[in-house]
Structure 1
Amino acid sequence: MSPSTVTVDVREGIATICFNRPRSLNAITADDYSAFANALRDVDKRDDVQVTIWQATGNWFCAGTDVRSVGGRLTTNTLRDHFLESRIFAPALIMDAEKNEKFSDTPSVASASVDRNYYHDAELELHDPTAANESLHRGLKARQISMIALGGAVGTGLIIGTSTALPRGGPLGLFLGYMFIGFVCWMVMCGLGEMAAYLPHSKGFAGYATRFVDPALGFALGWNYLFKYLIVTPNNLNAAGVVLTYWSGARKVPKEAWMAIFIVFIALFNLLGVRVFGEMEFWFSSIKVITLIGLLFLGIIIDLGGNPHHDRIGFRNWQHPHGPMGHYLKAQVHEESLSIFLGFFAVLSNALFAYIGTELQIPAAIKRTFWRILVFYVGGVFVIGLITPSTDDLLFTATKAKAGAAASPFIVATTLVGIKTLDHVLNAAILCFVLSAANSDLYIGSRTLYGLAVEGKAPRIFAKTNRNGVPWIALITCLLFCLLVYLNVSSGAAKVFGYFVNLVSAFGALTWISICISHIAFMRALKAQGRSRDSLPYKAPFQPFGSWFALITTTIILFFKGFDSFIPWKVDTFVTSYIAIPVFIVFFLGYKFYYGTKFIPSEKVDLTTGLKAIDDAEQAFLAEEEAKGPRSFWGRIWDGM
């Protein structure tokens, strides 16, 4: 083995192996591969040594390889011949016949007849993952992560999106629709939770699609997830503009000025780095959680008569003006029963938008997220249906919406019962709510684009970071999409909000569908390889039937969610409702045909690589928690939340 080809450095139980010369896969010769294979095989025979690969991205390895960042290096565990027969060596077998003949001198490596059929390796440049201009900084504190996770369980769809759903579905339709989609959402999360508990990794949903289904699905899902955040950020900025229009003074300032202020606001906090972002989001999320809890209690008090009019509302709004169900598009369809059904189906689409993003709570706590869905979403829409008339003109999406119409049904309710000043306080809290959502969405979007670039699935330029560890080129790119918010200047905030809801819910539905497909493939692989679900660290209820139910339901909603674009025909609504589907298909098929990937048979899915490292990490964590001693009373309360 030539020292100019491969370097092996063993220190304190860690063996570092790296190529010295080549900067791209094409520059690596068959002899280089052979030298690397021999070095890795020799080192990997030692159980007391952990192997790290220097100057490589995750895309070097097959989907079954556990690759994680450890001190800037990429670590592989329990690889052995499986690793040698996978992605890193596949190019040597397929680049040209001459290299293939040379490489066949190494039988164990030349037998790469399995993984290379399902995993490809694009001609990626090698890079040092610790390069100063291509690394993120970790600066979030435990309290910040906890509060952001708690606040992130609920988005603007509940606070503002219900202003659209309530007139369409009525109070009962709103309640039933959110409860139904809440169950679908929980099934998606349970499936994701099983995979995440069994094999946690940093590549998120796309990583499971790549490992269990097809790398092409992982690629399409990664970009689909990015598109969602490129759209949801301007959507939240638009929602902030809607919140502002409740105040007459704010309406005197041009919309363009407010939009510019909001964009600069979120840009500055993202550019200052993760520490500043984390602290701001901690306080914003605190306001969000306090606001949500306060709104629920306030709504119950108002309904029971605790208002200036001493009017006990009860279920009055479920009876007038036309019963508990909405009558959507009644003038067009001329049938009351069909109008009620269309109103309920419209609520399902709106509820899907509201729940999008909840999957980010995985794998923190499935049970906790279930109760958050039940209390915040289902409980929230139930209270809204009690205290807010579905036909009131104060709703900003009402047919005859008044100037200064409220963005949230909660504000409408406080205005109608004559609670002075409180509506302004709540409106200010909701403004913080939506700006927090826009800020965090921009953060996630820029990091998603950065991650795609690091994995070689997007141009490498997006992996550039500044001295604060901010992927500034990715951030600026995402900020450019925020300019879409200026559509509300000519089209109106309510109409633009509808466009964004259509797009975000479509991208979100495709994410849920992909997660369900990945989980179903995971379940099939377990069965094909003789593994029992009882051995899983987390065994979700109703599975795998729950994933099938969520897959079928979400697919139906995705394909029929734009029905109102046909009654009457509206090109803009049709495009925004369905454009995500062909985009996803193009990315999936384009990647599949270009790289020749194949669906991974159940018996070939890798269910073992990386498990030992995960078990070791879990044991270390449990030992650390045990050393801390029992939690205090308030600590247990916080954990429960």
Structure 2
Amino acid sequence: MSQSDEFSASTYRMPNKDGDVDKTVKTASGGEVVGDEEDVVTDPFAAPLKRQLKSRHLQMIAIGGIIGPGLLVSSGNALHEGGPAGSLISFCLVGIIVFFVMQSLGEMATIIPVTGSFTEYAARFIDDALAFALGWAYWYLWVTVLANEYNSVSLVIQYWTTAVPQWGWILIFWFLFLTLSNLGILAYGEMEFWLSVIKVLALIVFFILAICISTGGIGPQTIGFKYWDHPGAFADGINGVAKTFVVAGTIFFIGILIPWNDKQLLGNGSKTASSPLTIALTDAGILPAAHLINALIVISVISAGNSSLYVASRTLLFMSRNGKAPKFIGRTNRAGVPWVGLIFTNVFACIVFLEQSSSAGTVYSALITLSGVATFIVWSVIGVCHIRFRRALVAQGEDPSKLPYQAAFYPYGTYLALAGNIFLVFFQGYTCFLNPFSSTDFVINYILLPVFVLFFVVYKVWNKTKFVRLEDMDIWTGRREFVEEDADEVDNSGWWSKIYSIVVG
């Protein structure tokens, strides 16, 4: 859900509301976009981002982007909190919601591929004040994700050596991420491509080994589903399910290989406790597994750290250039990299150092928990944007059936996802109400809701924004008009040619 416009541009025309097609100009990557040649500026506060990512970059970034510390590290906590069945239920429910959220976003992004993505849609389809609150919530989400990645890599890398303290590793990777992020979009894409390839191949190997271990082909015993029977499929009943909605991962294989009450998952001082994959393979007698898994986690954190900085900095860039963030954050260098936004984001990610203090560690954990709530808020707004976009099409005489891409099962899927996200915003923290009531947990789980509303109200009152009517909604600016390809231009190459094109671009 990146808000960048740094994708490979294709040839398209953008009609205005009257149906006229404006003048097109060439982009740096060979595509054509609407505008006058005089619009190409060199002002560091308005310079366009580079469009240099190739198809293979985008495909592998999309596939490998889901393989990060949350999948390899936090899944251990999910297993402990919810048990194998509880975590699997959370994974399935969230997976359904994510599918319909992506359907909604995909329909809007295909016809209106604007830089601001859903933040721009919120401004145009609902209220500019909502876009302000949403943009900052989305940026905060990625800051906390980045902080968690610094914490994860500093712990995991200590498996090999403790000569450098944890805060030292955090500093090392802090400068490493910042350096890599300033190399430019093409370097970012190439690095993410190969790191994603490594992550995908490693995870496939783990799946194969997990099946062999469970069936008794590797290791001292046949495991099957015995851990679902003892200590049980649920760690804390429905409460465990509620706690794991934001951290369920490759939980099925992990759930059949490790009991949820495994001491290695619980021990704070255990070096392998961060990775249930390592525990499973080590218990099976595959001695090199610990080193391989730790190497995989380090690779995934480097990849995820780059992605977090990428998305957060582009979010700030968009908001800066639309008056929703300080103007200086919108500066870019000659490579088209928003370097100020990168530094600004990385500085706030230093909240990870709170984890180094036992007393401040509670504050850090609370900040990380809030990122899950921010996720559900963002997904909810995407659903509302999609519903209003569809209604505006009808109100302005447009035929939704002619959209180049239509969301599956609309409107049922969109309404289901919207209802599910609203439910999860409140359900994920309901355990604080259980006897005895925990005021600390209540604040941690729900403080972001009034803060989000405060951002919305203050911006709305200060700027006197108005709720957008369907008849006045801007569904034309940046709109893409697709041109049918000639039949003889359709690619009929074999599957081997398509694989080759993905690898080499």
How far 1:629 sits from its partner (Å)?
4.0
CA change 1:584–1:46 in 2 (3 A) is: closer
Residue in 1 that maps onto 2:228:
318
CA deviations over 1:244-292 (Å, ceiling 9, x no partner): 24x1x43342111111111011011112222322222222112221122
How far 1:523 sits from its partner (Å)?
2.7
- Name which of structure 1's ranges 446-455 and 148-157 shifts more when overlaid on structure 2: 148-157
Look up the equivalent residue of 1:512 and give its one-letter code: W
CA deviations over 1:293-348 (Å, ceiling 9, x no partner): 22222211111112231x11100110112x21112xxxxxxxxxxxx111111122
Residue in 1 that maps onto 2:6:
none
Task: Output aligned runs, 1:94-493, within 5 Å.
Answer: 130-133=41-44, 134-245=47-158, 247=159, 249-309=160-220, 311-321=221-231, 323-327=232-236, 340-351=237-248, 380-395=250-265, 398=266, 400-491=267-358
CA deviations over 1:572-606 (Å, ceiling 9, x no partner): 54444223222321221222222222222233334
| Pair 1:537-2:404 in alignment | yes
- Name which of structure 1's ranges 193-202 and 568-577 shifts more when overlaid on structure 2: 568-577
Task: Find the partner of 2:494 among 629, 632, 636.
Answer: 632
Q: Equivalents in 1 of 2:202, 2:501: separation in Å? A: 20
Higher relative contact order (Cα pairs below 8 Å, separated by 6+ residues): 2
Task: Find the partner of 1:546 among 399, 403, 413.
Answer: 413
**SS in structure 1 at match of 2:218:** coil
CA deviations over 1:449-502 (Å, ceiling 9, x no partner): 112112232222112122332222111111101211111211399967743541
Q: Equivalents in 1 of 2:144, 2:174: separation in Å? A: 14
CA deviations over 1:588-640 (Å, ceiling 9, x no partner): 122222222222223333445554x5224xx4xx46x9647423322445799
Contact 1:267/1:479 (8 A) holds in 2: yes
Contact 1:135/1:469 (8 A) holds in 2: yes
Q: Equivalents in 2 of 1:129, 1:461: separation in Å? A: 20
**SS in structure 2 at match of 1:543:** coil
Look up the equivalent residue of 2:274 and give its one-letter code: A
Q: Equivalents in 1 of 2:164, 2:417: separation in Å? A: 45
CA change 1:76–1:213 in 2 (3 A) is: farther
TM-score (norm 2): 0.86
Contact 1:72/1:130 (8 A) holds in 2: no
Q: Equivalents in 2 of 1:188, 1:343: separation in Å? A: 25
Identity of aligned residues (%): 37
How far 1:533 sits from its partner (Å)?
3.8
Look up the equivalent residue of 1:392 and give its one-letter code: D
Contact 2:352/2:364 (8 A) holds in 1: no
Look up the equivalent residue of 1:632 and give its one-letter code: G
Look up the equivalent residue of 2:219 and give its one-letter code: P
CA deviations over 1:127-175 (Å, ceiling 9, x no partner): 9762252343333333323222221144432222211111111111111
CA change 1:290–1:495 in 2 (3 A) is: farther
Contact 1:239/1:497 (8 A) holds in 2: no
CA change 1:467–1:530 in 2 (3 A) is: closer
Contact 2:145/2:371 (8 A) holds in 1: yes
- Name which of structure 1's ranges 492-501 and 184-193 shifts more when overlaid on structure 2: 492-501
Look up the equivalent residue of 1:633 and give its one-letter code: W
Q: Equivalents in 2 of 1:201, 1:385: separation in Å? A: 41
| Pair 1:590-2:475 in alignment | no
CA deviations over 1:416-443 (Å, ceiling 9, x no partner): 2221112211211121112210121112
How far 1:350 sits from its partner (Å)?
2.9
Contact 2:50/2:185 (8 A) holds in 1: yes
Task: Find the partner of 1:519 among 366, 386, 389.
Answer: 386
| Pair 1:50-2:18 in alignment | no
CA change 1:504–1:497 in 2 (3 A) is: same
CA deviations over 1:535-574 (Å, ceiling 9, x no partner): 3322333321222222222112112322344565656544
CA change 1:512–1:45 in 2 (3 A) is: closer
Task: Output aligned runs, 1:68-87, within 5 Å.
Answer: 75=34
Look up the equivalent residue of 2:428 and give its one-letter code: K
Residue in 2 that maps onto 1:120:
none
Look up the equivalent residue of 1:581 and give its one-letter code: L
- Name which of structure 1's ranges 215-224 and 440-449 shifts more when overlaid on structure 2: 215-224
Number of aligned positions between the proteins? 483
Residue in 2 that maps onto 1:509:
376
Q: Equivalents in 1 of 2:89, 2:122: separation in Å? A: 32
Q: Which runs of 5+ in 1 are unaligned?
A: 1-40, 54-67, 78-126, 328-339, 352-376
TM-score (norm 1): 0.69
Q: Which runs of 5+ in 2 are unaligned?
A: 1-15
CA change 1:469–1:240 in 2 (3 A) is: same
Contact 2:264/2:272 (8 A) holds in 1: yes
CA change 1:490–1:530 in 2 (3 A) is: same
